[in-house]
Copies of this chain bind each other. A is one copy, B any other.
Amino acid sequence: MINQLIANIKKTEAPIVVGLDPMLNYIPEQVQKKAYEEFGETLEGAAEAIWQFNKEIVDKTYDLIPAVKPQIAMYEQFGIPGLAAFKKTVDYCKEKGLVVIGDIKRGDIGSTSAAYATGHIGRVQVGDKAYAPFDEDFVTVNPYLGSDGVNPFLDVCKEEKKGIFVLVKTSNPSSGEFQDQLIDGRPLYELVGEKVAAWGEEVMGDAYSYVGAVVGATYPKMGKALRKIMPKAYILVPGYGAQGGKGKDLVHFFNEDGLGAIVNSSRGIIAAYKQEKYQSFGPENFGDASRAAVKDMAEDIKGALENRA
């Protein structure tokens, strides 16, 4: 699947991923209204609004982008109907040829991580039948429990040729509280980065590993250091746009081959119609606003990579 992701990136010439993290207040009035007319102001109604919102954005952007990253929390907050909308979104994006990164940040003791891996990127056995319950292509994984919380994901990656992105240095302001703590003079996130490199050696695609890393756009210097520590790991970079990261901050997340990183934007794309810059589209054409924002983001990153020092 890492090979597929890279093929998609080369085809679209856009190392970007659209974060499908719908909040109800991003969803235009008319979409919500229609969903509530059909399902009432219920969890089902909210889930329908989310699904219709996602579908429009995917329809208007899928030919420009290699991948999407639905954040499961935004669906889980609407309970079972919300999670059903997550699943519907995953399936639809895959039909459209997009690589789907499930942003689930799971991680637990071995047997429990195995259950998460099975449910999200693997297949579960029921009697004589096997099912792929969520069937994302990649998922994000939290490393706090160490190797035996990660290994079950590696096993499933091997079997299914799928992948993971392990949290190394996250984009949020307080990420340094634990991740930056110095151990023998080196920050914890570098130790985690070394582990990512080691885990990744076992499960290599053609040029990059099935095991990638999450490193926030908001910490470009650390991204540069981590790039060297994990040369074969694709870096999933959140924090572009709304969280403050810009194209020129991102060049050192990439390798010299122009590959090695994929930059996520969520709000900046899916709620583009709310920005002054794209206001003229109006809420009724929110999908077109997202398309314009995708093009601008791709240009910004392309330009930055071309002008790389």
Contact = CB atoms under 8 A, between A and B. Distances in A.
A43 B80 CA distance: 15
Contact of A41 (B111, B127, B183): B127
A179 B43 contact: no
B115 A41 contact: no
Contacts of A148: 172-174
A43 B87 CA distance: 14
A24 B126 contact: yes
Given A126-B24, A131-B43, A188 B192 contact: no
Interface stretch (A102-110, A251-259, A285-293, A296-304): A102-110
A113 B71 CA distance: 11
Interface in A182-224: 182-184, 188, 191-192, 195
B174 A145 contact: yes
A74 B115 contact: yes
Contacts of A46: 124, 126
Contacts of A82: 119, 133
Interface in A268-302: none
A257 B76 CA distance: 39
**Max chain B C-beta neighbours (<10 A), residue from A110, A127, A173:** A127
A76 B102 CA distance: 14
B146 A79 contact: no
Contacts of A129: 41-42
A89 interface: no
A176 interface: yes
Nearest to A186: B181
A197 to B, nearest CB: 14
Nearest to A86: B80
B178 A79 contact: no
A281 to B, nearest CB: 24
Contacts of A111: 23
Contacts of A76: 115-116, 119-120, 133
A31 interface: no
Given A146-B176, A148-B173, A73 B192 contact: no
Contact of A144 (B41, B116, B178, B191): B178
A87 B118 CA distance: 20
A133 B79 contact: yes
Given A45-B126, A145-B170, A178-B144, A74 B195 contact: no
A141 to B, nearest CB: 11
A73 to B, nearest CB: 4
Nearest 4 Cβ contacts at the A-B interface:
A79-B133, A146-B177, A41-B127, A146-B174
Given A80-B80, A181-B183, 20 more contacts: A24-B126, A36-B127, A41-B126, A41-B128, A42-B129, A43-B124, A43-B133, A74-B112, A74-B115, A77-B115, A77-B124, A78-B119, A78-B124, A78-B131, A107-B142, A109-B170, A109-B171, A143-B178, A178-B188, A178-B192
